[in-house]
Structure 1
Amino acid sequence: MTVTIYDVAREAGVSMATVSRVVNNNPNVKPATRKKVYEAIERLGYRPNAVARGLASKKTTTVGVVIPDISNAIFAEVARGIEDIANMYHYNIILCNADKKKDKEIRVINTLLEKQVDGLLFMGGAVTEDHLVAFRTANVPIVLCATSDENDQIPSVDINHEEAAYDAVMKLISQGHRRIAMISGTLQDPANGFARFQGYKRALEQAGITYDDTLVRIGNYRYESGVEAMKYFIELPERPTAVFSATDEMAIGAIHCIQDSGLTVPGDFSVISVDNSRMASMVRPQLTAVAQPMYDIGAVSMRLLTKLMKKENVEQSKVLLPHEIVVRQSVGGVQA
């Protein structure tokens, strides 16, 4: 039979109110009494009923996290940052994978809200009007993590994706490259797709390089789409000398395609990306990449959410964290 708080109180010889204070870490309990209650809890194998406690306090100490692709190492790093700060503030997290599908994202958001989470962290692609409708019906704080909405209606933590792409392409230009291709994410994705594409175009324009849409291929962030895009670039009558990829995974696909074609990196093609996941240092040659502070994005997002849940003062609801280029071996100068 299920052990109840009444059983613990009887075993310890105290009131149920005292057991409740011990379980909830109330400091107003004598050390000897606290020890007696803990010993009774251990003997009986008592586990507090989180649902009942939530109903009583109207708090579940649970945060819902919507993640777009649980198999992607980048999002795993964000989730680690979220969990570490959640543990620090005694929150549990429910992690839900949405497969980068809008309908599933909306369904998961509503499911988490039905479970009475105290707050919600949303990692996804485009924040559409349908997402905003779901967010508006929530009576708990919401923070966008590694993304943002177009009008900054929802608190968010991210990097400046356009600036990150701009810096990556300017790195190639500084090495003498003029014919620079891009493997982009979908342009419907405001951050990893459209913003990085805009940064690519801005760098070309600033350097006086005419934009050429034959040098842009749209990928789906996966390794295979990087391979397919690179096959296309290799077969062009006038090949690019460098490739900027919106993500590491597509960049690694491009590197392997180059090598499988009997060509070299950076001898025949320089390659640079944005992300700086663990894979960037595993590929050979190691990948030069713009580093997103993914752990910090998760940690800062969770800290912002704790402030909102506790109704603390929030000075800045839109946070942009810094990025940096990590130089490795995949970028070289133009061959004479």
Structure 2
Amino acid sequence: MEKQRKVTMQTVADEAGVSKATVSRAIGNYPDISDSTKKKIYEVMERLDYHPSAIARSLANRISKNVGLVLPADDDFFMNPFFQESLRGVAKTAGKRGYDTLIAYNGKNETNAVKRLVNSNKVDGVILMRSVIGDSTVNYLRKINFPFILIGKSREYNDIYTVDTDNADACRKLTNYLADYGCKKIGFIGGRRDSMVTIDRYDGYLQSIRENDLYFSFDLVEENEFNKLNGYMSMKKLLEANQDMDGVVITDSLIFSGAIDYLSSVGREKDIMIGAFGAESNSFSKDKHRVVNVDVGSMRIGEFSCGKLIDILENKDVDLADIVDYIIED
């Protein structure tokens, strides 16, 4: 059996048709290397699965003093109040501690955005804005041992640094609130099925349904992308299948906004009680709708995540998992 060749910086240089020194300076993001040459070198590194992070961080002890914030690969996330508030928290904390915030986005591929930051030595650590099952970005950062914080939690790993809310408990108590109010048939509208926040909040919803011995069927559940249009369509589907539904739990602010638009369009504002995460950003709607809100502390999550990452970069002791308190508001 042929022995697999070890990939080195010289291998990358040979494949890219440049010198080893040029590869080293491209990794260190030196300005004397053209963008086109850097791009060619990064593409070769990607193809050969070469991970130079340890080298990049050691080059002349270069430290960027930048924190990278990686956005999910969907345009609607830019409009999400959770992102906006979390970003404020990250930037505020980074500035106080002498760091700047660098935002990375790459269309439909978050991992490529992260690789671009890491390979060019633009950031000292990364914050991932949400967690999904089988996340290739988490796998990549673990593989190269690059500092990062995950907002949310990982189903696959228990050895990564996270900042989260107890979403299952929050949704259980939110659904209980609707049950205590007198709702007998409570629906659920969540985001993507592979999203850990949707999974946890759905688990909390089901736990409350069982505890209160309430009616349940799968046509009371809608899960889709985190955006306003899907909120509108999900509420429409739930009501078409369940005309007597008197309560609904909604797990996201954008979804909530679309759902209340549908309720208003059919004149059922007062018929259905809503328990929602992030409804405070749509507080105008509370005058027309019966709404209970869960405030997960988006800005506090951003502040805590950034502070924790910088503590790691400065070799301070931190806990693996931290939970930010939530508040239920009626």
**TM-score of Structure 1 vs Structure 2, range by shorter chain:** 0.7 to 0.9
- Tell me what 2:276 maps to: 273
Give the whole-Å Cα distance in 2 for the aligned partners of 1:81 and 1:276: 19
Give the corresponding residue for 2:52: none
> Which residue of 315, 326, 336 corresponds with 2:329?
326
Q: What is the aligned counterpart of 1:87 among 95, 98, 113? A: 95
2:67 aligns with: 63
Deviations 1:136-169 (A, max 9, x none): 2434311112x22123221011101111111111
TM-score, normalised to structure 1's length? Answer: 0.74
Query: Aligned residue for 2:110?
Result: 105
1:143 equivalent in structure 2: 149
**Counterpart secondary structure, 1:239:** coil
Cα deviations by residue, 1:109-141 (Å, 9 ceiling, x for unpaired): 111111211111111330525233311243431
Bigger Rg over Cα: 1
Q: Summarize the Cα distance change of 1:242–1:134 in structure 2 as closer, same or farther, 3 Å threshold.
A: same
The answer to whether the 8 Å contact 2:277/2:293 transfers is: yes
Asked if 1:254 is matched to 2:259, the reply is: yes
Contact 1:66 1:98 in 2 (8 A): no
Cα gap change, 1:278/1:321 in structure 2, threshold over 3 Å: closer, same or farther?
A: same
Task: Find the counterpart in structure 2 of residue 184 from structure 1.
Answer: 190
Give the counterpart of 1:305 among 302, 309, 329.
Answer: 309
The DSSP-based 3-state class of the residue aligned with 2:216 is: coil
Aligned to 1:296: 300
Given the alignment of the two structures, is residue 244 of structure 1 paired with residue 249 of structure 2, yes or no? Answer: yes
241-250 vs 172-181, which moves further: 241-250
Aligned to 1:114: 119
Q: Secondary structure at the match of 1:298?
A: helix
CA deviation profile, 1:172-224 (whole Å, cap 9, x unmatched): 00101110011121221111x11111111000001112421111112312111
**Distance of aligned partners of 1:262 and 1:91 in 2 relative to their CA distance in 1, 3 Å threshold:** same
Alpha carbons of 1:273 and 1:98: their partners in 2 closer, same or farther (altered >3 Å)?
A: farther
- The Cα RMSD (Å) is 2.1
> What is the rounded CA distance, in whole Å, between the counterparts of 1:204 and 1:134 in structure 2?
38
Summarize the Cα distance change of 1:292–1:274 in structure 2 as closer, same or farther, 3 Å threshold. same
SS of 2:149's equivalent in the other structure is strand
The CA distance in 1 between the partners of 2:223 and 2:259, in whole Å, is 13
- Residue 325 of structure 1 aligns to a residue in which SS? strand
What is the deviation of 1:258? 1.4
Aligned CA distance change for structure 1 residues 70 and 98 (closer, same or farther; 3 Å) = farther
Aligned in 2, Cα 1:127/1:212: closer, same or farther, shift over 3 Å? Answer: closer
Q: Helix, strand or coil for the counterpart of 1:149? A: coil
Residues 130 and 249 of structure 1, relative CA distance in 2, 3 Å threshold: closer
Residue ranges of structure 2 left out of the alignment (5+ in a row): 1-57
- CA offset at residue 98 of structure 1? 5.2
What is the letter of the counterpart of residue 181 of structure 2?
Answer: Q
Q: Distance in 2 between matches of 1:237 and 1:62?
A: 51
Q: Aligned with 1:87: secondary structure?
A: helix
Cα distance in structure 2, aligned partners of 1:80 and 1:212: 40
Q: Aligned partner of 2:222: which letter?
A: R
Q: Which among 173, 177, 190 is matched to residue 179 of structure 2?
A: 173
Deviations 1:15-38 (A, max 9, x none): xxxxxxxxxxxxxxxxxxxxxxxx
Distance 1:73 1:98, change over 3 A: farther
User: 3-state SS of the aligned residue for 1:124?
Assistant: coil
Q: Secondary structure at the match of 2:271?
A: coil
Encode CA deviations 1:207-262: one digit per residue, 9 max, x unaligned: 11242111111231211111112222332364201111111222222222112112
The answer to whether the 8 A contact 1:231-1:257 is kept is yes
Q: 1:91 to 1:138 in 2, by over 3 A?
A: farther
